[in-house]
Chains A and B, each alone.
Chain A
């Protein structure tokens, strides 16, 4: 509960209330909001277009690199004449396996140095 409220002051506060029924204030706010909304849409559209343009530019080299990688990575490091043995050892006898082992070794080496 509030105490010590002066009723005369309360009445003065009520009397001091001005009535604002002008539409201009609301219109101004809506104009600013619409402007901001348009700017946001424009900004996103520009960003999307730039992203699409970038994708179009790098799409061809990226596809080429990926196809080269898919061809190169499963290639055997050591040629084995027996077909079934080559398939069995494929997970360790390939460029991909060598790369994975190299990355693990480098990681372990870095940790050994910094710890």
Chain B
């Protein structure tokens, strides 16, 4: 059955998820439109490369389309999608050898299209962190997840997560101290 774009745009997310589960691609397209900003920003913070982030985001949504029937609770679409995104990022890191990963890091300065300067500086600062630490910091600050939630999502030990976030915060504070000073001056 076909639904008008306007009707889908007004529908709650759980209804769109239910329709997508029955194979309705228009409903899924509406879900992609609604959730793309969130997933693309999350992937950008994770990998620091806008092109790679968009590629991975695209793969996340395609994976979501393929496995949406496995989602039993329509209300849990957002956390399920976030889990897919993080798994996609972790798989990408596992697939890539260290040399290629190093290339990605060096590319970050050139591949920031449609990024704010704060976003670019933040990504540059995040790039100085190790992959695991970066992921923990992004999930904690960007996604505002608790340590326990990060533990269940990444499978990392709680102590490791805490120390990654503590050290990562310190590093980011040092790298982005100019912003903190400006904010203080503004006040």
A-side interface residues toward B, CB under 8 Å? Answer: 1-2, 4-6, 8-13, 15-21, 23, 25-30, 32-34, 36-37
Q: What residues of A have a CB within 8 angstroms of the CB of B169 in the complex? A: 4-6, 9
Q: Which residues of B contact A19 (CB under 8 A)?
A: 37
| CA of A11 to CA of B179, assembled, Å | 10
Q: Which B165-182 residues sit within 8 Å CB-CB of chain A?
A: 165-166, 169, 172-173, 176, 179-180
Q: Which residue of A lies closest to B65 (CB)?
A: A33
Rounded to whole Å, the gap between the CB of A79 and the closest CB of chain B is 63
Measured CB to CB, the closest approach of chain B to A4, in angstroms, equals 6
Q: In the complex, are the beta carbons of A29 and B32 less than 8 A apart? A: yes
Q: Decide yes or no: A10 and B65 within 8 Å by CB, A25-B36, A26-B33 being known contacts.
A: no
Does the CB pair B122–A12 fall under 8 Å? yes
CA distance A20 to B33 in the complex (A): 9
Q: Classify the interface of chain A: helix, strand, loop or mixed.
A: helix
Cβ-based interface call for B183 (8 A): yes
Which residues does chain B contribute within 8 Å of A11, judged by CB atoms? 183
**Which B residues form the contact surface with A (CB < 8 A)?**
25, 28-29, 32-33, 36-37, 40-41, 44-45, 54, 57-58, 61-62, 65, 114-116, 118-119, 122-123, 140-142, 146-147, 165-166, 169, 172-173, 176, 179-180, 183
* A38 → chain B closest CB, angstroms: 12
Contact B146 A15, beta carbon cutoff 8 Å: no
A83 CB, min distance to chain B CBs, angstroms: 63
Which residue of B is nearest A20, CB measured? B37
Who on chain A is nearest to B30 by CB? A26
What are 26 A-B pairs with beta-carbon distances under 8 A?
A: A1-B146, A2-B165, A4-B166, A6-B173, A8-B183, A11-B183, A12-B122, A13-B122, A13-B141, A15-B118, A16-B118, A16-B123, A18-B40, A18-B41, A18-B44, A20-B36, A20-B114, A25-B32, A25-B36, A26-B29, A26-B32, A29-B29, A29-B32, A29-B61, A33-B65, A34-B25
CB-based contact A30/B29 at 8 Å: yes
CB neighbours (8 Å) of A28 from chain B are 58
Which chain A residue lies CB-closest to B168? A9
**Cα A33 to Cα B67 with chains together (Å):** 13
Chain B nearest CB from A43 CB (Å) reads: 15
A4 with B165, Cβ < 8 A, contacts A12-B122, A15-B116 known = yes
Extra pairs beyond A9-B169, A13-B141, A28-B58 (10, CB < 8 Å):
A1-B146, A2-B165, A12-B122, A15-B118, A16-B41, A16-B123, A18-B116, A20-B40, A25-B32, A33-B25
Q: Roughly how many angstroms separate A27 CA and B40 CA in the complex, as a whole number?
A: 15
Contact of B141 among A1, A5, A18, A30 (CB under 8 A): A5
A26 to B122, CA, bound (A): 26
